[in-house]
Chains A and B, each alone.
Chain A
Amino acid sequence: MTKKLLLARSDHDIGNHYLFMYSQEIVTEAEARGWSVERADNDRNTRKSVHSRLSNKPNLVVLNGHGSDDEVYGFKDEVVLGPYDSALLSGCVAFIRACASLNGLGVRAVKSGAKAVAGYRGDFWIPRIHEYHATPLKDPSARPVLEASNLVPLRLLKGASVQSAVEASKKYSFELISRMLTSGEPYDSPSVRALINNQALLGFEGEPTSSV
């Protein structure tokens, strides 16, 4: 049976634009593996549209956007998942790339039947160099940070457990940090800060061996 990925992303501000562009790697990997991919892009990254797509019970859900302990925001910062929506993730494995949402939403989603939720327990930082505003994929400051984060859903797509996917991301972050600390490249300094912060906040709720 074909597996289903739901990926939500927007590009209405610069932070979301970076998440949007770097999420393409996840879509490409899923399609290459024969997954059915539902993209909730921009004006489809709304509460109504995301709720409707979640009712199709995707195996893997990837949400990108701003967030808080209890909410994830979609296009133009509309709340797509709020404190009373956690049951919508029932039966799914999810990666929520939104600030702090693992604390509240992630915990409640697992209590409501989600297999596992990976995400961040605080503010997710993305460094960027102004000259790469229009070409985020070439931004040497943002690239390592978002590649390390992308490892979580990419490993999940390859069948890894949520624990193993999170550990792979942390291990890769550590390798990058170790390399950057001796590089002398001035633009590595913001990347190192973001990598250290993000990997410290990355975690999961639910059964560690859960996979898609």
Chain B
Amino acid sequence: MDDAYLKRLVVTRLKAIPPNVSFSIGRFGDFSRDQLIQEVERGSSVGKAAIQLELTFLREMPKLSEKIGASLSP
């Protein structure tokens, strides 16, 4: 995955979040959804943190699916 694709992926996924939501992101401060989208597009440090969050989300989902599957097994 190249940087441009990652940015597009994260921006698309952020747009699915309601616009009246903000995130407090530790040392970076507080960012509304739209500010976060701008930061991702600019490639700033906080934008990179947002990309990292999305990658963590994608990486953890298969593990969660496995757990859910295991909890459903007879």
Contacts and interface: CB of A to CB of B under 8 A. Distances in A.
Do A and B come together as binding partners? yes
Contact of A125 (B25, B60, B61, B67): B25
A127 B22 contact: yes
Contacts of A115: none
Contact of B53 (A98, A177, A197): A197
A99 interface: yes
B21 A128 contact: yes
A134 interface: no
Contacts, number: 85
Chain B interface category by residue count: 20 to 34
A197 B57 contact: yes
B57 A196 contact: yes
Nearest to A141: B21
Contacts of A124: 26
Interface in A122-142: 122-131, 141
Contacts of B52: 122-123
A33 B26 CA distance: 31
A124 B32 CA distance: 16
Given A128-B23, A193-B57, A194-B23, A187 B64 contact: no
Contacts of B53: 123, 125, 193, 197
B23 to A, nearest CB: 5
A103 interface: no
B57 to A, nearest CB: 5
B20 A123 contact: no
Interface in B44-68: 49, 52-54, 56-57, 60-61, 64, 67-68
Interface in A79-133: 98-100, 122-131
B46 to A, nearest CB: 9
Contacts of A129: 18, 20-21
B73 interface: no
A208 interface: no
Nearest to B64: A177
A9 B56 CA distance: 28
Contact of B64 (A100, A174, A190): A174
Contacts of A125: 23-26, 53
Contacts of A13: 29-30
Contacts of B54: 193
A148 B17 CA distance: 21
Interface of B: 16-18, 20-30, 32, 49, 52-54, 56-57, 60-61, 64, 67-68, 71
16 contacts: A13-B29, A15-B26, A15-B29, A68-B27, A100-B26, A123-B27, A123-B53, A174-B64, A178-B68, A186-B17, A187-B18, A189-B17, A190-B21, A190-B23, A196-B64, A200-B60
